[in-house]
Amino acid sequence: MTNNSQLFPCGRIASMLSRREWLSRAGAGAGMLGLASLMAEQNLLAAPQADGASAPVTSLLPRVGHFPSQVKSVIWLFMEGAPSAVDMFDRKTELDKQDGRKTDIQAFFGNPGPLMKSPFSFKQYGECGQWVCDKYTNVARHVDKMAFIKSCFSESNDHVPAIYQINSGLPRPGFPTAGAWVTYGLGSENQNLPGYIVMGNTQGAKGGPHNWGSGFLPSTFQGTLFRSQGAPVLNLNRQPSITKEDQRAQLDLMAKLNDEHMRRHTDDAEFANRMQSFELAFRMQKEATEVVDLSRETKATQDLYGINDSRTKSYGSKCLMARRLVESGVRFVQVYSDGEWDAHNDLEENHTHHCAATDVPVAGLLSDLEERGLLDSTLVIWGGEFGRMPISQNGKGRDHNPKGFLQWMAGAGIKGGVSYGETDEIGYEAVENRVSVNDLHATILHLLGLDHERLTYFHNGRSYRLTDVAGKVIQEILA
């Protein structure tokens, strides 16, 4: 007969039990694991919160993080389409020297050419001496506030999965995005507005609503798409024939009926989310309309964001509204650029256009946040879903490059005027202090006072987190 100690780590304990006793105990334990899994799937267990306390899983009430942090909100300036680092912030002198040399680097989408130097000139700015191209001179004035992460890499060379990954950590749809995880962990300071707001690309973001979805997290934490002009949310306002008092009475009656339903169906978590959505929509009718009313701002402030210039009006309006939202207590705001930095055919024309549309608004946002004291509590992130190749494509363009790209962060918790990591001498591949998307997310959560390994949600039999099973905080860029 085989000794139990050869089969089980606890063989010595098992050998002291009869066979019947051992099977009874093991069976009871397996049953409890199954019961716990079923209860968790039906939201009958207390949800894990950032501070370890038991709180309603759908609550947007503010919660404390795992440790103190001065960062209260995030503004993510998402440059959809992927700007080229070597043409904006990461000057490569070797690329200038080797311009026209043929290489074995292959373009993902065909027509690879030789190495191509940047069509833009560069100048050093700030005490840190950061190189910035001549198309981003307003943003360049703020380099001493920024930490440049120059060695990012991701998994996909296609826009949609790459955008999914930069938002959710995984290059496929259906997983909670960073904004959803942050509001799940911390809630929001303003209960009359969503905790996570997105101002999208006027052409529509590739990949659609999955880019700001809550995945398997409760839908309370998904991003809400706002418009920068007119009604912020379609169909938000009540019909003129219905008074505020009548609408309140309707909601009160619905709440009474819904409470009765919840007493009979305690496992219907999505029903509870819908109830909260109705209440939030009612509270938003006044405050959301006010927060997008940019006419309340002075002409000087509007000029700061470029709202009175046709080239910068759209993105400037979104950046100004982002400031108004975080000032109102919204936790996470993502601001998509308009169009795409997708320069396959003519990089100079494409990047000149997008720099002109975003340079003044981004610089204005940083100046305005600083003047109002909000930069001390707001983390600002800038970047796209991947980078671009050092070789030419179709003559004067550049193809997608997930092997090496750049992001920068500024504001609360960031050590300004620093650079972290490097790509190789021509800007093709991250080689020094490589930074994964998981590392970026771990750093963002850390700046908000959240431990990326402890912010979890039980789903489908295991605990998930934004950083999956990887990620490390980039300590070198922290103040």
pTM: 0.82
3-state secondary structure the chain: CCCHHHCCCCHHHHCCCCHHHHHHHHHHHHHHHHHHHHHHHCCCCCECCCCCCCECCCCCCCCCCCCCCCCCEEEEEECCCCCCHHHCCCCCHHHHHCCCCCCCCCCCCCCEEEECCCCCCEEEECCCCEEEECCCHHHHCCHHHEEEEEEECCCCCCHHHHHHHHHHCCCCCCCCCHHHHHHHHHCCCCCCCCCEEEECCCCCCCCHHHHHCCCCCCHHHCCEEECCCCCCCCCCCCCCCCCHHHHHHHHHHHHHHHHHHHHHCCCCHHHHHHHHHHHHHHHHHHHHHHHCCHHHCCHHHHHHCCCCCCCCHHHHHHHHHHHHHHHCCCCEEEEECCCCCCCCCEHHHHHHHHHHHHHHHHHHHHHHHHHCCHHHCEEEEEECCCEECCEEECCEECCEECCCEEEEEEECCECCCEEECEECCCCCCEEECCECHHHHHHHHHHHCCCCCCCCCEEECCEEECCCCCCCCCCHHHEC
Predicted confidence band at 397 (pLDDT cuts at 50, 70, 90)? very high
Looking at per-residue pLDDT, the higher value among 238 and 156 belongs to 156
Amino acid at 267: D
Can you tell me the distance from the alpha carbon of 89 to that of 281, in angstroms, rounded to the nearest whole number?
A: 42
What backbone phi and psi angles, to 5 degrees, belong to 311? -70, -35
Give residue-wise pLDDT tens across range 249-263: 766 666 666 666 666
Separation CA 7–CA 436 (nearest Å): 40
Over residues 285-330, the pLDDT tens digits come to 566 778 888 999 999 999 999 999 999 999 999 999 999 999 999 9
Q: Which of 15-29, 217-231, 340-354, 370-384 has the lowest mean pLDDT?
A: 15-29
Angle at 439 between CA 128 and CA 415, to 5 degrees: 25
Residue 239 has pLDDT above 90, yes or no: no
Measured between its terminal Cα atoms, the distance across the chain in Å is 63
Single-letter amino acid code for the residue at 349: E
Q: What is the mean pLDDT of residues 431-456?
A: 98
Give the model confidence (pLDDT) of 177-222 as tens digits. Answer: 999 999 999 999 999 899 999 999 988 889 999 999 999 999 999 9
The answer to whether 404 and 354 are in contact (CB under 8 A) is: no
Specify the residue for token string 């021509």. Answer: 426
Q: What mean pLDDT is predicted for residues 430-447?
A: 98
User: Does the pLDDT at position 46 exceed 90?
Assistant: no
Domain spans, the chain = 4-41, 73-230+292-477
Following CA atoms 323, 328, 334, 337 in sequence, which dihedral angle do they give, to the nearest 10 degrees? -30
Residue type, 399: D
User: What angle do the packed helices 178-186 and 437-447 form, to 10 degrees?
Assistant: 30
For residues 345 and 395, give the distance between their C-alpha atoms in angstroms, rounded to a whole number. 7
Placement of tokens 């911390």 in the chain: 186
For 73-230+292-477, the fitting CATH number among 3.40.720, 3.30.1560, 3.40.50, 1.10.3470 is 3.40.720
Half-sphere exposure of 90 (CA within 13 A, CB side): 32
Lowest mean pLDDT among 48-52, 74-78, 161-165, 299-303: 48-52
